[in-house]
């Protein structure tokens, strides 16, 4: 619909009163997604109630793509573009790379890599059935999304053949979840947020599993925080992977890059 300036001002005022920092921008976006006033009222009501904007409109802008986001599914973060950028660079060195996206959520990471490199053989997994359904819609024709715990659902034929294994596993310490913004803690699944006592529980499990899946010279990439990067890196090194920490100032994203020995890739 095309609201009048006065109607947009009224919507923005409701959003600002609810704590939305970018109220005017959100008002324009919600109005653009609504075919009529009744629908706009519903969308604004959902946003005012604290639902993430991306879940309300049904999509997120991520790495130059429009990624579908279903209600209750983890919303792709801008900082995760650091993980994508590194994965895209590494995949560029392999013809028709085999890529795995663990804890895929919407499938945004794998989708971005596959879009950058046509011919990518892509597998994505998540334990949350709602996320897997969302990822399947996003990856239609580009990859396979499977439901299960971390690497458990991956086909055995991928062992020793994965060129890039990217993981945006949860890394919020359990006691810190209560301090997260309400739109995250109340509207995203706990399983996508809770990283255990120190936030590195899932990273340790990923690091333990990764060497069995990686091809010689293949890379494991784990998104983490600056505070947890050393612990995440140590988990990778404990399983024989050559490891370094990279930080992308542009999106404030931190990635642990771990390489299996063999091959010639860097």
pLDDT of 245 over the 70 cut: yes
Of the candidates 232, 228, 174, the residue with the CA atom closest to the CA atom of residue 207: 232
What phi and psi values does residue 52 have, to the nearest 5 degrees?
Answer: -55, 140
**Is 61 part of a structural domain of the chain?**
no
Q: In the chain, how many H helices and how many E strands?
A: 10, 9
Domain that holds residue 19: 5-49
Does 62 map to a domain?
no
What integer pLDDT is reported at residue 140 of this predicted model?
95
Cβ neighbour number for residue 63 with a 10 Å cutoff: 21
Examine the domain organization and report whether 104 and 163 are in the same domain.
yes
In percent, the amount of the chain with pLDDT more than 70 equals 98
Q: Is residue 71 part of a domain?
A: no
* pLDDT at residue 265 is higher than 60: no
- Asked whether residue 112 falls in the same domain as residue 170, the answer is yes
Distance CA 123, CA 102 (A): 8
pLDDT band at 254 (very low <50, low <70, confident <90, very high): very high
Average pLDDT, the chain: 96
pLDDT at 224 over 80: yes
pTM: 0.94
Within-domain flag for 265 = no
For residue 240, the number of C-alpha atoms closer than 13 Å in the C-beta half-sphere is 12
For the chain, the C-alpha Rg in angstroms (whole number) is 19
**Do 126 and 249 belong to one domain?**
yes
In this prediction, residue 3 has a pLDDT band, given cuts at 50, 70 and 90, of confident
Are residues 159 and 35 located together in one domain of the fold? Answer: no
On whether residue 24 sits in a domain, the answer given is yes
Q: Are 116 and 240 members of one domain?
A: yes
Are 15 and 121 part of one and the same domain?
no
What average pLDDT does the segment 35-44 reach? 95
In a domain, 25, yes or no: yes
Q: Is the dihedral of CA 139, 140, 143, 146 positive or negative?
A: positive
Confidence of residue 1 (pLDDT cuts 50, 70, 90): confident
Mean pLDDT calculated for residue range 55-82 = 97
What's the pLDDT at 4?
Answer: 86
Give the total number of structural domains in the chain. 2
Kindly tell me if the per-residue pLDDT of 33 is higher than 60: yes
Same domain, 110 and 33: no
* 162/217 same-domain check: yes
Residue at 123 is within a domain: yes
Q: What is the pLDDT of residue 264?
A: 59
Same domain, 40 and 85: no
Residues 224 and 95 in one domain: yes
Per-residue pLDDT tens over the stretch 130-170: 999 999 999 999 999 999 999 999 999 999 999 999 999 99
Tokens of 252: 């404030």
User: Is the domain of 202 the same as that of 253?
Assistant: yes
pLDDT of residue 93: 87
Domain match, 40 and 107 both: no
CATH number for the domain harbouring residue 216: 3.40.50.150
The average pLDDT across 192-211 equals 98
């Amino acid at each position: 619909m095309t609201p009048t300036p006065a109607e947009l001002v009224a919507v923005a005022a409701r959003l600002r009163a609810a704590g939305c920092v970018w109220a005017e921008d959100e008002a324009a976006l919600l109005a653009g997604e609504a075919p009529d006033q009744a629908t706009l009222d519903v969308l604004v009501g959902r946003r005012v109630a604290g639902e993430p904007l991306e879940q309300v409109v049904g999509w997120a802008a991520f790495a130059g793509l429009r990624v579908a986001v279903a209600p209750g599914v983890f919303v792709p973060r801008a900082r995760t573009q650091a993980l994508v950028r590194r994965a895209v660079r590494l995949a560029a060195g392999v013809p028709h790379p085999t890529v795995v996206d663990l804890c895929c959520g919407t499938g945004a990471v794998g989708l971005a890599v596959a879009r950058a490199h046509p011919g990518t053989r892509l597998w994505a997994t998540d334990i949350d059935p709602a996320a897997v359904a969302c990822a399947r819609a996003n990856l239609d024709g580009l990859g396979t999304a499977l439901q299960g715990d971390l690497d458990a659902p991956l086909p055995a034929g991928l062992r020793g053949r994965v060129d890039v294994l990217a993981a945006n596993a949860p890394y919020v310490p359990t006691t810190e979840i209560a301090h997260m913004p309400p739109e995250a803690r109340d509207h995203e699944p706990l399983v996508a947020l809770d990283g255990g006592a120190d936030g590195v529980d899932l990273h340790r499990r990923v690091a333990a599993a990764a060497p069995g899946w990686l091809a010689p010279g293949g890379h494991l990439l784990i998104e983490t925080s600056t505070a947890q990067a050393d612990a995440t890196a140590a988990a990778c090194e404990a399983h024989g992977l050559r490891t370094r920490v990279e930080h992308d100032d542009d999106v404030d994203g931190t990635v642990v890059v771990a390489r299996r020995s063999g091959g010639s890739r860097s």
